[in-house]
Amino acid sequence: MKHGAPRIDSPTIQPPQDASGTLVLIGGACTPDGMALRSFVDAVQAVGGPIIGITAASADPVGSAALWMGDFASIGVTDVHFPPVSRTDARVDRETAARIDQAAGVFLGGGDQVKLVATLSGTRTCQAMKALYRRGGVVCGTSAGAAALTTLTMAGGEVDTEGNLVEQYIGPGFGLLGYEAIIDTHFSQRRRLQRLFVVIGGNPQLLGLGLDENTALVVRGEIGEVCGAGGVTFVDGRDSVRFDNAGDLDQGRQLTLSHLRVGIVGTRYHLNLRRRELQILVTGEPSPHVREQVGHGVEV
């Protein structure tokens, strides 16, 4: 079985030029009272309106929806609804899309990102979600929900519970986050740096984003701010990779490459997705919380 990431050609991937909304990308395992989920709730409340949740990625969509309803209720968020979704029932699809048209935010739960994309792609529900983002609404995904929001989504490339290596998959996502980015979740907790290295080694034009659990990357325009318990790792090979053998890993070899740009963005710091660099290095200005510390006499 092939170990390496499939090579893809994506020279025309661009961020949505007419979008004025906010993306909240969470690395999974978010707690109701954590800053990651709170960043989504705050962004929705700033817009004003209900939240529509979608748990189609889950193996148990109804049970997952009930758990999320409880989590939101525990922090005082009650105007949240999890309607059914369907790509085969036109009435259900039409009704769910109409509810999204009246919403301030969409929340995508975790599970299987490939299943989620297959369920929603080409539906009125998916079109309504994208329209909400374009008009200034908030779209949040956690775990598989976050991984599906890029133009390309990844899965596999890991050993399963029976000890078998699952073939690496790279396929279409929803495309709300451009910048040739691809997302991996549960990043530090599941030690997925090697998996992201393989993907970027084989496709150096991509920007890999590894999201830790209970951590959000809140994206407005080309700037993403990290909020929550962990950090966001970025892996960039666009202009740096000198050698890689990612295409030969099906022959049983270990990954060899030189070299990648790798960085870690901590909470309340900002990443410029277009420049693929910390915003503090792009502008030469400290992040807002650093300015606050300087103003209070704290050495930085």
Q: Tell me, what's the pLDDT at 90?
A: 98
User: Do the beta carbons of residue 94 and residue 124 sit within 8 Å?
Assistant: yes
Mean pLDDT of the chain: 90
First to last CA, the chain: 50
Q: Tell me, what's the pLDDT at 246?
A: 74
Return the number of other C-beta atoms located less than 10 Å from residue 169's C-beta. Answer: 14
User: Do the beta carbons of residue 203 and residue 7 sit within 8 Å?
Assistant: yes
Q: What percent of the chain has pLDDT over 90?
A: 75
Q: Tell me, what's the pLDDT at 161?
A: 81
181, pLDDT greater than 50? yes
Q: How buried is residue 12: exposed, middle or buried, by Cβ count under 10 Å (0-12/13-18/19+)?
A: exposed
Return the number of other C-beta atoms located less than 10 Å from residue 163's C-beta. Answer: 6
Q: Tell me, what's the pLDDT at 244?
A: 79
291, pLDDT greater than 60? no
Buried (b) or exposed (e) across 20-53, using 16+ Cβ within 10 A?
ebbbbbbbbbbbbebbbbbbbbebbeebeebbbb
Where is average pLDDT lowest: 234-238, 250-254, 291-295?
291-295
Query: Tens digits of per-residue pLDDT, 103-141?
Result: 999 999 999 999 999 999 999 999 999 999 999 999 999
* Token couple for 273: 């997705």
At 9, the pLDDT band (50, 70, 90 cuts) reads low
15, pLDDT greater than 70? no
CATH number of 22-295: 3.40.50.880
- Residue 85 amino acid letter: V
**Cis peptide bond prior to 259, omega within 30° of 0:** yes
Where is average pLDDT lowest: 118-127, 145-154, 202-211, 238-247?
238-247
Chain position carrying tokens 């189609």: 56
Q: Tell me, what's the pLDDT at 18?
A: 65
Query: Tens digits of per-residue pLDDT, 205-229?
Result: 999 999 999 999 999 999 999 999 9
**What pTM was estimated for this model as a whole?**
0.90
Buried (b) or exposed (e) across 222-231, using 16+ Cβ within 10 A?
eebbbbbbbb
User: Do the beta carbons of residue 225 and residue 269 sit within 8 Å?
Assistant: yes
- Residue 64 amino acid letter: S
- Residue 198 amino acid letter: V
Average pLDDT over residues 225-234: 98
Average pLDDT over residues 162-167: 84
Could you state, in order of their start, the residue ranges of all structural domains in the chain? Answer: 22-295
**Comparison of pLDDT for 156 and 16, the residue scoring more:** 156
Average pLDDT over residues 57-75: 98
Coil/strand/helix, residue 57: coil
